[in-house]
């Protein structure tokens, strides 16, 4: 691929990502290259076709260095749920050398970019899997409006929430790469036909008069002091740049996480029914067909995936469907309406990306709900289908990266990138051992 790229360069045919070495989350099907989704059940799966998003990147001249680790089927916030073992965050805290999680599910993508192993990486975000690992590794991550990146060839987790995006070191890199990945794709029924403006050209450096909303409900009790200080710092940068700050209310925020953990498992239980040992992937024989299904799925799926299949099957079952699934769909509409109302008075919202910085690989709680809390600020965005971006904004008192999240209305990717770019020029991180901005 590199040779072919050199040849194109010699002929003066230069794509927007010509010769750029990138990593691909192992959830995107890559033709003739193993694609595991972090699962044992797909550990021998070699796709005969290419995902639309990766094809768009190759068409623009990008070069794949390798496939990147993730939580199994993108379910998780740490990569601890990968069947192939966790990825380590290149960052360490000042107090000890314990290996830390890079966040998840796109933890491999974030660690590869933060460690300079790849210039940029693809990622996907169902409830926070681009923004949370970007935040925990000191990087920029953007999830576009639902439907802008085709889902064709991306292993499905929760189809109404899944959306591809990018993790990069700089805002400009995100703008360039995201633009290449977006396309209208007849092979995905939810793909939108909506052209975005030139995203790199949108980085004008000017956000004078921008109205920025600060949602009251995001001042939650689990928000650490250093994170809330970073949030205040972000508000100051925006004021310095001439933006106007307004308090707003998103009253249904507290229902977002429980709603997500009904809808996402429901969709997952349906999507994952295709792994049956018959068509592709792992097969563990049994005496009967049913036994073969059971053996294959018992051995092929990890604990977290099994938990979600069980929760999802339960909330969709006769008798519980109305009480859980249907009710969650109604709450989803209310969450969407909250954002619509807020965007009548402000252009974008500023929130923390996560409640805390990275935790150690050997420190996760045994309570799955605590892991789910990692996504308390990111999940509402997926339920509403909106675009959002996480940018590195400071360091915790432990010397670890903390991220701030910008959320905008549908198709406001240009505005989010412009705002993040302005904030990035005002941000200073000299309080830490490492500099987040050593690419400049």
Closest CB 125 distance from ligand GLN, rounded Å: 5
Give the CA angle between residues 250, 394, 367 to the nearest 5°. Answer: 60
Stretch that binds ligand GLN, among 71-79, 113-121, 244-252, 426-434 (CB under 6 A): 71-79
Q: How many other CB atoms are found less than 10 A from the CB of residue 30?
A: 21
Active-site choice (5, 20, 25, 39): 25
Q: Where are the beta strands (DSSP E) in 26-162?
A: 63-68, 120-125, 140-143
Contacting ligand GLN (CB under 6 A), which of 127, 213, 215, 408? 127
Complex with ligand GLN: residue 73 or 152, whichever CB lies closer: 73
- CA 352 to chain centroid, in Å, comes to 15
Complex with ligand GLN: residue 112 or 388, whichever CB lies closer: 388
Closest CB 76 distance from ligand GLN, rounded Å: 5
Closest CB 294 distance from ligand GLN, rounded Å: 25
Assess 128 for contact with ligand GLN (CB under 6 A).
yes
Assess 267 for contact with ligand GLN (CB under 6 A).
no
Complex with ligand GLN: residue 375 or 414, whichever CB lies closer: 375
- Run of H or E including 407: strand 401-407
Contacting ligand GLN (CB under 6 A), which of 105, 356, 405, 412? 105
Complex with ligand GLN: residue 73 or 91, whichever CB lies closer: 73
- At 72 the three-state DSSP class reads helix
Complex with ligand GLN: residue 128 or 144, whichever CB lies closer: 128
Q: What letter does residue 199 receive in the DSSP assignment?
A: T
- Run of H or E including 413: helix 413-426
- CA 367 to chain centroid, in Å, comes to 22
User: b/e for 360-385, b at 16 or more Cβ within 10 A?
Assistant: ebeebeeeeeebbbbbbbbbbbbbbb
Contacting ligand GLN (CB under 6 A), which of 126, 354, 356, 390? 126
Preceding peptide of 105 cis, ω within 30°:
yes
Stretch that binds ligand GLN, among 39-47, 122-130, 133-141, 181-189 (CB under 6 A): 122-130
Complex with ligand GLN: residue 41 or 74, whichever CB lies closer: 74
Active-site choice (129, 191, 353, 412): 129
Assess 69 for contact with ligand GLN (CB under 6 A).
no
Annotated catalytic, 105? yes
Annotated catalytic, 106? no
Cα gap 116→266, rounded to integer Å: 37
Q: Is-contact 382 126, C-beta < 8 A?
A: yes
With 0-12 / 13-18 / 19 or more C-beta atoms within 10 angstroms meaning exposed / middle / buried, residue 9 is middle
Q: What letter does residue 41 receive in the DSSP assignment?
A: G
Stretch that binds ligand GLN, among 44-52, 94-102, 120-128, 185-193 (CB under 6 A): 120-128
Q: How many other CB atoms are found less than 10 A from the CB of residue 34?
A: 13
Annotated catalytic, 249? no
Complex with ligand GLN: residue 212 or 383, whichever CB lies closer: 383
Complex with ligand GLN: residue 28 or 293, whichever CB lies closer: 28
Stretch that binds ligand GLN, among 125-133, 237-245, 338-346, 397-405 (CB under 6 A): 125-133
Tokens standing for residue 329: 């769909």
Number of residues in the chain = 440
Q: What is the 3-state secondary structure (H, E, C) of 331-392?
A: HHHHHHHHHHHHHHHCCEEEEECCCCCCCECCCCCCCHHHHHHHHCCCHHHHHHCCCEEEEE
Assess 144 for contact with ligand GLN (CB under 6 A).
no
Residues 196-235 contacting ligand GLN, CB under 6 A: none
Cα gap 267→285, rounded to integer Å: 27
Stretch that binds ligand GLN, among 57-65, 123-131, 186-194, 226-234 (CB under 6 A): 123-131
Assess 92 for contact with ligand GLN (CB under 6 A).
no
Assess 373 for contact with ligand GLN (CB under 6 A).
no
Assess 129 for contact with ligand GLN (CB under 6 A).
yes
Catalytic residues: 25, 105, 129
Chain residues in the site for ligand GLN (CB under 6 A): 74-77, 105, 125-129, 157, 264, 375
């Amino acid at each position: 691929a590199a040779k072919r790229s050199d040849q194109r360069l010699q002929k003066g045919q230069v794509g927007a990502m010509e010769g750029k070495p990138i990593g691909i989350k192992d959830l995107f099907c890559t033709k003739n290259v193993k694609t595991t989704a972090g699962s044992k059940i797909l550990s021998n799966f070699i796709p005969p076709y290419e995902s639309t998003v990766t094809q768009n990147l190759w068409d623009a001249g990008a070069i794949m260095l390798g496939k990147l680790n993730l939580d199994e089927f993108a379910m998780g916030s740490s990569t601890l749920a990968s069947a192939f073992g966790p990825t380590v965050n290149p960052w360490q805290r000042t107090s000890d050398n314990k290996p830390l999680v890079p966040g998840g599910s796109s933890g491999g993508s974030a660690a590869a970019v933060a460690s300079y192993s790849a210039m940029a990486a693809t990622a996907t975000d169902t409830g926070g899997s681009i923004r949370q690992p970007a935040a925990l590794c000191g990087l920029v991550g953007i999830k576009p409006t639902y439907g802008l990146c085709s889902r064709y060839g991306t292993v499905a987790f929760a189809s109404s929430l899944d959306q591809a995006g990018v993790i990069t070191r700089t805002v400009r890199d995100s703008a360039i790469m995201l633009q290449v990945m977006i396309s209208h794709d007849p092979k995905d029924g939810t793909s939108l036909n909506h052209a975005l403006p030139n995203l790199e050209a949108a980085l004008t450096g000017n956000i004078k008069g921008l109205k920025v909303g600060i949602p009251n409900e995001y001042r939650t009790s689990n928000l650490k002091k250093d994170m809330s200080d970073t949030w205040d710092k972000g508000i100051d940068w925006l004021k310095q740049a001439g933006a106007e700050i307004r308090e707003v209310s998103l009253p249904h925020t507290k229902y977002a996480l429980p709603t997500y953990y009904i809808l996402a498992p429901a969709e997952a239980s349906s999507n994952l029914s295709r792994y049956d040992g018959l068509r592709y992937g792992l097969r563990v024989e049994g005496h009967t067909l049913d036994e073969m299904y059971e053996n294959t799925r018992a051995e092929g799926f990890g604990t977290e995936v099994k938990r979600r299949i069980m929760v999802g099957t339960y909330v969709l079952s006769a008798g519980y469907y109305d009480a859980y699934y249907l009710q969650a769909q109604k709450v989803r509409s209310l969450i969407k309406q909250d954002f619509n109302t807020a965007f009548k008075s402000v252009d974008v919202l500023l929130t923390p990306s996560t409640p805390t910085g990275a935790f150690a690989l050997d420190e996760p709680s045994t309570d799955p709900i605590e892991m789910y809390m990692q996504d308390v600020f990111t999940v509402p965005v997926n339920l509403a289908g909106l675009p959002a971006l996480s940018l590195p904004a400071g360091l915790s008192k432990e010397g670890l990266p903390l991220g701030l999240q910008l959320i905008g209305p549908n198709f406001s990717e240009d505005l989010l990138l412009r705002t993040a770019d302005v904030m990035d020029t005002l941000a200073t991180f000299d309080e830490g051992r490492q500099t987040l901005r050593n690419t400049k």
